[in-house]
Amino acid sequence: MNAPPVLEMKDIIKDFPGVRALNNITFTAYKGEILGLVGENGAGKSTLMKILSGVYPFGTYEGKIILDNKEVRFKNTKQAKSAGIAIIHQELNLIPQLSVAENIFLGDEPLQWGILDRFKMYNVTRTLLNRLNLDILPSETLKNLGVGKQQMVEIAKALRTKARILILDEPTSALTTREIEVLFRTLRSLKEQGVTCIYISHHLEEIFNITDRVTVIRDGATVGSAPTRELDEEKIVAMMVGREIKEMYPARSTIKGDVVLEVKDFWVAHPFRPGEKIVKDINFSLHRGEVLGVSGLMGAGRSELLAGLFGAFPSDCGGDVYLEGRKVVVKNPGQAISLGLALATEDRKLLGLILQRGVSENISLSSLKELARFYVIDKLKERRINENFVNKFKIKTATLDTPVMHLSGGNQQKIVLSRCLATQPKVLLLDEPTRGVDVGAKVEIYRIINKLLEEGLAIIMVSSSLPEVISMSDRIMVMCEGRATAILSAKETNQEEIMFYATGGGKNEGE
Amino acid sequence: MKESNEALKEYGILIALIVITIFLSIITGGDFCSPRNLTNLARQVTFIGILAVGVTMVILLGEIDLSVGSLVAVTGVVAALAQVAGWGVVLTVFVALLVGAVLGIWNGYWISKYKIHSFIITLGMMVIARGLALILAKGASVGPTTEAFRKLGGASIPPLLSALLIFACFLLWLGGIFYGRKKQKEYGFALPGRFQEIEKIIIGTLVFLFIGWIFYSYEGIPLPVVIFALITLAGIFVLDNTPFGRHLYAIGGNIEASRLAGINVDRVKFIVFVITALLSAVSGILLTSRLDGATPATLGLMYELDTIASVVIGGTSLSGGSGHISKTIIGTFLIGTLSNGMSLKGIPTIWQYVVKGLIITFAAWFDARTKKQH
């Protein structure tokens, strides 16, 4: 890399009320490389990228952005875009009801005599899609495509505006393994075409798989930058958290207790396709002090199983569920909670938290009945209990009333867990408990899980991370297309075996 | 700078109200500030104010209720008809409340059971209820009412008793502060700063003195104002101290998360629409009593707009999840003060519309601006 860098961000300082988000950070990217940008939540990755893409205009930060040896001062995102900087957010910015071509040209439609030039639109779109080796029709309505292909459309959209620097913020969080492969292939071909990609991800495997160089930032400053091949996972994690994490998955010594939950022939109807089932023939029993991991590919029905058990799924469910030996029929989440079930959902922001309300209010939302006497909330008791949660789980927040939207992913997740525990559940259902959570907070969440098990709780944990599911579970139920293809002992299995069952291997063998 | 912005956001409406009050007092040569006028002002705002308590809850949920004005009309007509038919006051009030409840149940049923947007359902109710009022009254004014009924909206608590009542409230409020401190100490929490508490007590004392002075110097507290105050205090208490209040904010903030947290969303929505309709009936009864009869075509006309304006000027977000009844009340007084002041100055009603509209626009702009800064 002797060529001059295509992009340099020099001595960037950015202050938010009360916090310095970026502290003299320097950041360099070269032409035609895939640069991994890693750091814990709140380290400043997003802020840095927002400055680069013009979300925070010139003047709201200190420092210089140098693009091709020239200083640039973006007043808005439009200027950044026309300078060749495109950002692809975690949440896609596309309109599902429009066609692929219409999405790609959104806001910049080609006109002829003041009328939409469809021919040009479709033509350019086809060229772009070909360049990405994608088999998508320009006229296809976006919502008919899978999430992976939608993301490709987003990339195509960025390329149309001649993006030279492509920022990808956690691009794989909603993708299946196969879709990730397609994405990586696309990124590699872009690299050959001279496009620089800045790849932000929590998944270190991906970082090692795709990037040429890695820059680690911590507390708003660059900790280090090195070619990927000179690094390993431990080194990166140590750089990210500023200390070495000895045991990612803390050990526990729990004794399996008696059966608390038994599920027989459980099924959940498909929400859109009448007559079909999205979860079928599920049988398992769950003991006190045990984690039953649930593994499987996207769309295998894992989340639907949890939601169904919790009475939260909109379509019909059936089968026999026994809680502590008693048959129960769960009709809605309220009833599930009073029976002793608790669910921490996968999507905290959309399904878990009331973002504009305070920490304390979010924690006690499910347990207000216990806090109230004659329909009046005992606010002091509430405060005492919630203060306890905040201290016990080390939730980093300014006050108990700080709106939870200002907190990091890990702290938000701890609030969701606190809310679940405030209801004093017997069975805890966790859906991707560490998604979007940084390494440090992950370990803390694992510790919390272990402590809960020691207290006699039983946990069902859905997780897409194979190392996590293997290390944290006692047994693992693997699901494929709505069925349980295997229940494995976590100690005796490995990633290959789980993938074998997750892709339906077991089923084919049986037939 | 940032702190002062926060304060402006928090107290902006209150400051606006105070500024307008001072301005009106000056240009009217003190007439505005006279106990007589302020007593009348308090009486005038009750009708919208009672509605605004319910509509604040509706808007906190992220819903809307366009039917309150028409509900005022139909319940008012029912009350007037009952009076003309010679029914007693208690029965009259009961029947009017019952009609309000039934129509509220209708609203709540469609909105919660079939998940239809409240805008449409209450728009329908707005037309239905107005139509019912006209049918029941056969298109003409209904009246007069009995003397006993007229007292509901017209009578006042005698000045001396009013003053004592206000003093009792003052003592309760003061006691509440000290009880709270004691409790917090018991639980071992950090107490709020002594200076802050003293500041609060001084400001509170001044407010109580002012209110006491107004009502003692003229004719005492009008009965509708007492009812309005009770409803408002009950509303504030429910929002702050009950699971139901928390659920309102939660649902308005994130309906799916609320459902998953075990809240019975449909039931909460249903109850809120019934409460709002009941409050409309209360307002309808008081208005009919005050006007000594009901005119179906004009009773409560456009009240839904004044009500929603009060709520929004008070800073409650139309998208739900944030706001408060206490702020709505300030919004109500702001609109009431403007109408009252402009009438005092003899500004024609047609111009008052324009000014009101501008104030609403300005309030919304202010709200959007402070939010953006955040």
Same domain, A38 and A138: yes
The pLDDT assigned to A330 comes to: 92
Judge whether A331 is closer than 8 Å to chain B, CB to CB: no
- Under 8 Å CB-to-CB from A70, ≥6 apart: which residues? none
Same domain, A198 and A297: no
The pLDDT assigned to A219 comes to: 80
Please give the mean pLDDT across all residues of chain B: 91
Task: Report yes or no on A435 lying in a domain.
Answer: yes
Two structure tokens written together for B31 = 């007439």
The pLDDT assigned to A20 comes to: 77
* CB-CB neighbours of A462 under 10 Å: 23
- Residue A228: what are its φ and ψ, rounded to 5°? -60, -40
Q: What is the CATH number of the domain that holds B226?
A: 1.10.3470
Same domain, A162 and A289: no
Position A509 confidence tier, pLDDT thresholds 50, 70, 90:
very low
Report CB contact under 8 Å: A372, B321. no
CA gap A216, A238 in Å, rounded: 10
Report CB contact under 8 Å: B187, A383. yes
Rounded-to-10 torsion of CA B92, B96, B101, B106: 140
Position B372 confidence tier, pLDDT thresholds 50, 70, 90:
low
- Which of these, A421, A442, A307, A306, lies nearest to A362 by C-alpha position? A421
CA gap A231, A229 in Å, rounded: 5
The residue ranking higher by pLDDT, B17 or B84, is B84
Last residue within a domain, chosen from A211, A241, A271: A241
End-to-end CA distance of chain B: 13
Rounded-to-10 torsion of CA B327, B328, B330, B336: 170
Task: Report yes or no on B202 lying in a domain.
Answer: no
Position B2 confidence tier, pLDDT thresholds 50, 70, 90:
very low
CA gap A421, A363 in Å, rounded: 9
- Indicate if the pLDDT at residue A297 is higher than 50: yes
- Residue A250: what are its φ and ψ, rounded to 5°? -60, 140
Same domain, A172 and A310: no
- CA-based angle A85:A349:A38, to the nearest 5? 45
Chain B positions touching A351 (Cβ under 8 A) are 254, 256-257, 260
- Indicate if the pLDDT at residue B234 is higher than 70: yes
Q: What is the CATH number of the domain that holds A146?
A: 3.40.50.300
Which chain B residues in 157-216 lie under 8 Å from chain A, judged by CB atoms? 183-184, 187, 189
Give the mean model confidence (pLDDT) for residues A80-103.
Answer: 86
Q: How many domains does chain B have?
A: 1
Position A508 confidence tier, pLDDT thresholds 50, 70, 90:
very low
The pLDDT assigned to B374 comes to: 44
Task: Report yes or no on B99 lying in a domain.
Answer: yes
Task: Report yes or no on B120 lying in a domain.
Answer: yes
- Indicate if the pLDDT at residue B324 is higher than 50: yes
CB of B156 closer than 8 Å to CB of B137 = no
Report CB contact under 8 Å: B249, A383. no
The residue ranking higher by pLDDT, B142 or A82, is B142
Give the mean model confidence (pLDDT) for residues B232-259.
Answer: 95
Tell me whether the omega of the peptide bond preceding residue A425 falls within 30 degrees of 0, making it cis. Answer: no
Same domain, A195 and A321: no
CA gap A362, A412 in Å, rounded: 10
Chain B positions touching A352 (Cβ under 8 A) are 257, 260
- CA-based angle A352:A391:B178, to the nearest 5? 100
Task: Report yes or no on B299 lying in a domain.
Answer: yes
The pLDDT assigned to B325 comes to: 95
- Which of these, B9, B10, B38, lies nearest to B24 by C-alpha position? B38
Give the mean model confidence (pLDDT) for residues A230-259.
Answer: 79
Task: Report yes or no on A473 lying in a domain.
Answer: yes
- Indicate if the pLDDT at residue B251 is higher than 90: yes
- Indicate if the pLDDT at residue A199 is higher than 70: yes
Closest residue in B to A330 (Cα–Cα): B262
Last residue within a domain, chosen from A241, A275, A293: A241
- CA-based angle B374:B321:B127, to the nearest 5? 125
Give the mean model confidence (pLDDT) for residues A451-462.
Answer: 93
Same domain, A42 and A173: yes
Report CB contact under 8 Å: B242, A377. yes
Domain residues for the domain of B15 are 2-155+222-347+358-373
The residue ranking higher by pLDDT, B260 or B345, is B260
- Indicate if the pLDDT at residue B4 is higher than 70: no
The pLDDT assigned to A148 comes to: 77
- Indicate if the pLDDT at residue A152 is higher than 80: yes
Same domain, A141 and A208: yes
Radius of gyration of chain B (CA): 21
Report CB contact under 8 Å: B260, A352. yes
Q: How many domains does chain A have?
A: 2
Same domain, A232 and A267: no
Lowest-pLDDT choice from A121-135, A476-490, B183-197: B183-197
Chain A positions touching B184 (Cβ under 8 A) are 380
Closest residue in A to B252 (Cα–Cα): A354
Task: Report yes or no on A355 lying in a domain.
Answer: no
Burial B260-280 (b: 16+ CB within 10 A, else e): bbbbbbbebbbbbbbbbbbbb
Task: Report yes or no on B212 lying in a domain.
Answer: no
The pLDDT assigned to A440 comes to: 79
- Which of these, B99, B54, B52, lies nearest to B73 by C-alpha position? B99
Task: Report yes or no on A417 lying in a domain.
Answer: no
Give the start-end residues of each E strand in A39-178.
62-67, 70-72, 85-88, 111-112, 115-116, 165-169
Same domain, A116 and A75: yes
Determine which helix (DSSP H) or strand (DSSP E) holds B194, and give its type and residue range: helix B194-217
Task: Report yes or no on B207 lying in a domain.
Answer: no
Which chain B residues in 103-122 lie under 8 Å from chain A, judged by CB atoms? none
**pLDDT > 70: what percent of chain A?**
96
Position A336 confidence tier, pLDDT thresholds 50, 70, 90:
very high
- Tell me the pLDDT tens digit for each residue of B26-49: 988 888 889 999 999 999 999 999
- Tell me the pLDDT tens digit for each residue of B149-168: 999 999 999 999 999 999 99
Task: Report yes or no on A459 lying in a domain.
Answer: yes
* CB-CB neighbours of A274 under 10 Å: 8
Task: Report yes or no on A378 lying in a domain.
Answer: no
Position A17 confidence tier, pLDDT thresholds 50, 70, 90:
low
The pLDDT assigned to B99 comes to: 98
CA gap B355, B346 in Å, rounded: 14
Which chain B residues in 128-157 lie under 8 Å from chain A, judged by CB atoms? none
For residue A282, the SS3 value is: strand
- Indicate if the pLDDT at residue A511 is higher than 90: no
CB of B148 closer than 8 Å to CB of B89 = yes
Judge whether B321 is closer than 8 Å to chain A, CB to CB: yes
The pLDDT assigned to A332 comes to: 93
Task: Report yes or no on B166 lying in a domain.
Answer: no
Select from A309, A355, A368 the residue whose CB has the most chain B CBs within 10 Å, as the one to mutate to test that interface: A368
Give the mean model confidence (pLDDT) for residues A143-172.
Answer: 84
Domain residues for the domain of A310 are 258-340+425-511
- Indicate if the pLDDT at residue B15 is higher than 70: yes
The pTM (predicted TM-score) of the whole model is: 0.81
Task: Report yes or no on A365 lying in a domain.
Answer: no
Judge whether B9 is closer than 8 Å to chain A, CB to CB: no
Position A240 confidence tier, pLDDT thresholds 50, 70, 90:
confident
Give the mean model confidence (pLDDT) for residues B325-331.
Answer: 93
The pLDDT assigned to A291 comes to: 95
- Indicate if the pLDDT at residue B189 is higher than 80: no
Position A42 confidence tier, pLDDT thresholds 50, 70, 90:
low
CA gap B47, B287 in Å, rounded: 7
The pLDDT assigned to A46 comes to: 82
Report CB contact under 8 Å: A366, B2. no
Same domain, A214 and A315: no
Two structure tokens written together for B159 = 């000045």
- Indicate if the pLDDT at residue B373 is higher than 60: no
Task: Report yes or no on A302 lying in a domain.
Answer: yes
Same domain, A211 and A264: no
Same domain, A186 and A321: no
CA gap A287, A260 in Å, rounded: 5
The pLDDT assigned to A510 comes to: 39
- Indicate if the pLDDT at residue A90 is higher than 90: no
CA gap B234, A131 in Å, rounded: 65
ipTM over 0.90: no
